[in-house]
């Protein structure tokens, strides 16, 4: 297949940038590059344009560098939230690819980024936060935080009751510490001492009264009147 030399006037991925002189298939140049104004034939007249093409290339690369540097600073502060379908156990259905992330950046933040600049070793297959590396420019790298959330709520396993399996410590007729007793058992035990005090108070009456009565009982009884008459006769 015959080859021909051309001067690129546009950046073509995989082929070259402005002002580069490359060899391509003659049919490819004639049917695609020349009609699309992506390249021009390598002639003495066209070589004069190479300097202007180099300057345009330098300006373009400087603009891309500045733009990507600002974008790297901006996306580092963002959190791209992606909603996915997942089971109740949190297992995802499907995965998140670079193309999905690029679409969400456009939808959520109006950021247009080629998915080839999003570096993913493997598609994301788990929920949660993920830090993604971005190859924004040959001299500019960046990171993007992606948060994958489930569209359906995830149910956590129910925890066992805290009191399950604990033996009951309460006994009949007794009350737990700090609880107020109820029912007939709630009568204060202080009543018995009160009754005892009352009984002691009754017994504590002055013993003088008993002694006084006893003394009266001990006085000699009055002599019969007959004995008085006999004394007078004598």
* CATH number of the domain where residue 15 is located: 3.40.5.10
Q: Are 61 and 92 in the same domain?
A: no
Nearest in space to 128 (alpha carbons), one of 66, 86, 65, 177: 86
User: Which strand ranges, in their side-by-side order, compose the sheet holding 21-25?
Assistant: 21-25, 3-8, 39-41
pLDDT digits (tens, 9 = 90+) for 131-177: 999 999 888 999 999 999 998 876 665 555 555 555 555 545 444 44
The residue range of the domain holding 136 is 71-150
Say if 160 falls within a structural domain: no
Q: Are 98 and 110 in the same domain?
A: yes
**CA–CA distance, 72 with 144 (Å, rounded to integer):** 9
Say if 189 falls within a structural domain: no
- The tokens describing 78, both together, are 């963002």
Say if 130 falls within a structural domain: yes
Q: Say whether pLDDT at 65 is over 50.
A: yes
Q: Are 47 and 93 in the same domain?
A: no
Q: What pLDDT score does 230 carry?
A: 47
Q: What pLDDT score does 87 carry?
A: 86
Say if 27 falls within a structural domain: yes
Rounded to an integer, the average pLDDT of 5-24 is: 89
More confident residue, 220 or 116: 116
Contact 31, 4 (CB under 8 A): no
CA dihedral 197, 198, 199, 203 (to 10 degrees): 100
Which secondary structure element, helix H or strand E, spans residue 41, and what is its range?
A: strand 39-41
Q: Say whether pLDDT at 233 is over 70.
A: no
Say if 210 falls within a structural domain: no
Domain end position, chosen among 69, 87, 116: 69
Q: What pLDDT score does 136 carry?
A: 92
Rounded to an integer, the average pLDDT of 43-64 is: 87
Rounded to an integer, the average pLDDT of 114-126 is: 92
Domain end position, chosen among 38, 69, 100: 69
State the DSSP code for 108: H
Q: Say whether pLDDT at 129 is over 90.
A: yes
Number of domains in the chain: 2
Q: Say whether pLDDT at 184 is over 80.
A: no
pTM listed for this prediction: 0.54
More confident residue, 159 or 127: 127
CB-count burial class (<10 Å; 0-12, 13-18, 19+) for 61: middle
pLDDT digits (tens, 9 = 90+) for 99-108: 999 999 999 9
Q: Say whether pLDDT at 203 is over 70.
A: no
Say if 166 falls within a structural domain: no
Domain end position, chosen among 150, 185, 218: 150
CA–CA distance from 42 to each of 17, 37, 108 (Å)?
Answer: 15, 14, 46
Contact 53, 18 (CB under 8 A): yes
Beta bridge partners of 148: 82, 128
């Amino acid at each position: 297949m015959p080859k021909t030399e051309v001067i690129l006037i546009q950046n073509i991925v995989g082929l070259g940038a402005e002002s580069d002189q490359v060899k391509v298939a003659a049919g490819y140049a004639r049917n695609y590059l020349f009609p699309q104004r992506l390249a021009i034939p390598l002639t003495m007249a066209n070589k004069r344009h190479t300097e202007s093409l180099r300057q345009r290339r330098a300006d373009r690369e400087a603009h891309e560098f500045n733009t990507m540097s600002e974008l790297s600073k901006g996306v580092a502060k963002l959190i791209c939230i992606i909603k996915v379908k997942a089971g109740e156990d949190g297992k995802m259905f499907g995965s998140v690819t670079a193309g999905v992330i690029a679409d969400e950046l456009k939808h959520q933040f109006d950021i247009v980024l080629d998915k080839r600049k999003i570096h993913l070793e493997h598609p994301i297959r788990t929920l949660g936060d993920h830090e993604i590396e971005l190859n924004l420019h040959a001299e500019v790298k960046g990171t993007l935080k992606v948060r994958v959330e489930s569209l359906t709520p995830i149910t956590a396993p129910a925890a066992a009751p805290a009191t399950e399996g604990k033996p009951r410590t309460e006994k009949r007729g007794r009350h737990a510490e700090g609880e107020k007793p109820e029912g007939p058992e709630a009568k204060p035990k202080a009543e018995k001492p009160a009754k005892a005090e009352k009984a002691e108070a009754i017994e504590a009456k002055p013993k003088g009264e008993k002694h006084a009565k006893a003394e009266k009982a001990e006085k000699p009884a009055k002599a019969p009147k007959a004995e008085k008459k006999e004394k007078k006769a004598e």
